[in-house]
Structure 1
Amino acid sequence: MAALIRYSKSSAVSSLSSTSLLRRCFSSTVSSELASPSTASPSPFTLNHNLPRKDPKDRNVQWVFLGCPGVGKGTYASRLCNLLGIPHIATGDLVREELASSTPLSRQLSDIVNQGKLVSDEIIINLLSKRLQAGEAKGESGFILDGFPRTIRQAEILEEVIDIDMVVNLKLREDVLLEKCLGRRICGQCGKNFNIASINVKGENGNPGMSMPPLLPPTHCMTKLITRADDTEAVVKERLRVYYEKSQPVEEFYRSRGKLMEFNLPGGISESWPKLLQVLNLDDFEEKLSAAA
């Protein structure tokens, strides 16, 4: 832990060491793609909406999921990871795991998260590096990154060490986002996420109507629901403001490289999930889709 504290205080040295660690982790996982331009295998996808149909087990996916806090990155990324048989690496989960520990870093993170601020690049890169090392030891191949990169600097570091195939940018109107975030609940016993918000927005001013039913827990979890400390209206609004200010430029970073696929969520999971599979050309894998649902 002392190394983490020194790392946060000395960004020049720590950024270099973390970049090296990221490079080593990524290189071990995807060495066949990065060996050299002449030996690297072509990406299994063209970076547009007409992706070739290919069995999920044959896809070497290296994707990033972008989107505002609460948009559903974790939900859709985890479903796709189940479908494709690859790990879902969510930096938000890494932060929450660290928060659950009793360390000086966990207390520092608690102050940052409860104020709706972004966790520093140094801390995020350090947590991600540890996660990649653990995955490398287990023989993981491919991934979907959820919550990273959040800044241009993080995107540049990531670009130095690996060629991301595609960046999926999930979009949802802000008023629905706010209502959705305020409805989030966690079971204090099993740790699963639910949502008690029943959203039914009428179409107006050129915006289509939208309906999102609640994701209610089973009976045995109903009395154990808790609200995340950072899911208050003031904190959620601050997180959205910070996202638009600091993270949205990452969209332009990947758009300029031809890697950004924007997906406007038309409604809840039952409506959005099949349409997302369609644009990814995964909608014909019915058996695997049933397993992932």
Structure 2
Amino acid sequence: MAAVSRLAKLSSISYLRRCLSSAVASESNPPYTSPFLPKPDYNLIHKDPKNGHVQWVFLGCPGVGKGTYASRLCNLLGVPHIATGDLVREELASSGPFSQQLSEIVNQGKLVSDELIVSLLSKRLQAGEAKGESGFILDGFPRTINQAEILEGVTDIDLVVNLKLREDVLLEKCLGRRICSECGGNFNLASINAKGENGNPGISMAPLLPPPQCMSKLFTRSDDTETVVKERLHIYNEKSRPVEEFYRSRGKLLEFDLPGGIPESWPKLLEALNLNDYEEKQSAAA
């Protein structure tokens, strides 16, 4: 069994390498070259990402909003949003070969193994390759140094956006999350007003309420309990923060402190990425 497991892992990594390489490179579309300065900051100026060949990664603690902001940027830039958390949930819902193993891991707030994540990501990339996808924004991968090294051996990541939020706000935000069982929409019932501390300003986040037809159909994710969320944050601090340093040492990390909810944070994030004028042009053209 161990030999079969190793073979499956090597096969998945090999396929991941082929897919990521082909997704961003062809004779007519050469690989997108990293244009970033060694020490990026919020005023970082980089090559125009609007050609659809961005290769970005979103980092941040569980519940910080990686999926929200990554998906918005993907819609803006026209590239696929690949969230490993969604891949895990889809596998859980499908009763596939990994569903039971994943269920036990997720419900305990633990990290999914590299082998399982690479297998799921390979499957997703295969589907995207068949549809002719180009470029990507990864959300939830890599989460460990091992995963980061696998990815680095596969392709050149242009930018890593590290979303940051106070832990007490993160906890409150996670406990307020709800999903509509009918439309699949993500909402948040928490109304957050955290006071400033240690010289940092306070943070206010209005609830993201569902429409009336969804209100009676809301449910809470099984891993959105205080015990599990705290365990996930503990594991992130222990296992994933070194990934931040991995990319910081390579001059590819852009730290972004969320100043509030979407209305406050989205314009600031676009400004940090030099995309604020692009959204205005897209809106005018619509």
- TM category, shorter: over 0.9
> How far off is 1:60 after superposition?
1.7
Partner of 2:193: 200
Structure 1-normalised TM-score? Answer: 0.90
- Trace 1:72-91 onto structure 2 (pairs within 5 A): 72-91=65-84
Partner of 2:221: 228
Partner of 1:131: 124
Tell me, yes or no, if the aligned pair for 1:53 and 1:281 is still in contact at 8 Å.
no
Using a 3 Å threshold, how does the CA distance of structure 1 residues 131 and 41 change in structure 2: closer, same or farther?
closer
| Aligned residue type for 2:149 | E
Q: Distance in 1 between matches of 2:77 and 2:244?
A: 24
> How far off is 1:44 after superposition?
5.7
Q: Does 1:209 align with 2:230?
A: no
Q: Does 1:102 align with 2:95?
A: yes
Using a 3 Å threshold, how does the CA distance of structure 1 residues 183 and 290 change in structure 2: closer, same or farther?
farther
Tell me, yes or no, if the aligned pair for 2:55 and 2:137 is still in contact at 8 Å.
yes
Partner of 1:187: 180
Structure 2-normalised TM-score? Answer: 0.92
> How far off is 1:287 after superposition?
4.1
Partner of 1:255: 248
Tell me, yes or no, if the aligned pair for 1:53 and 1:282 is still in contact at 8 Å.
no
Using a 3 Å threshold, how does the CA distance of structure 1 residues 184 and 289 change in structure 2: closer, same or farther?
farther
Corresponding residue SS for 1:284: helix
| Aligned residue type for 2:33 | P
| Aligned residue type for 2:8 | S
Using a 3 Å threshold, how does the CA distance of structure 1 residues 11 and 287 change in structure 2: closer, same or farther?
same
Q: Number of aligned residue pairs: give it.
A: 281
Using a 3 Å threshold, how does the CA distance of structure 1 residues 82 and 291 change in structure 2: closer, same or farther?
farther
Q: 2:148 aligns with which of 152, 155, 178?
A: 155
Corresponding residue SS for 2:98: helix
Q: Tell me, which stretches of 5 or more residues in structure 1 are unaligned? A: 1-5
Q: 2:7 aligns with which of 9, 13, 33?
A: 13
Percent of pairs with identical residues? 75
| Aligned residue type for 1:192 | G
Corresponding residue SS for 1:103: coil
Partner of 2:22: 28
Structure 1 segments (4+ residues) deviating >6 Å: none
Corresponding residue SS for 2:242: helix
> How far off is 1:196 after superposition?
0.3
> How far off is 1:17 after superposition?
1.6
Q: Distance in 2 between matches of 1:119 and 1:148?
A: 11
| Aligned residue type for 1:12 | R
> How far off is 1:197 after superposition?
0.2
Q: Distance in 1 between matches of 2:191 and 2:52?
A: 36
Deviation per residue, 1:128-165 (Å, 9 max, x gap)? 00000100000000000000001100000000110000
Q: 1:42 aligns with which of 33, 57, 71?
A: 33
| Aligned residue type for 1:100 | A
Tell me, yes or no, if the aligned pair for 2:70 and 2:81 is still in contact at 8 Å.
yes
Partner of 1:268: 261
Corresponding residue SS for 2:282: helix
Q: Distance in 2 between matches of 1:291 and 1:173?
A: 37
> How far off is 1:290 after superposition?
8.2
Q: Tell me, which stretches of 5 or more residues in structure 2 are unaligned? A: none
Deviation per residue, 1:187-241 (Å, 9 max, x gap)? 0111110000000011133231110000000111011110000000000000000
Q: Distance in 2 between matches of 1:165 and 1:53?
A: 10
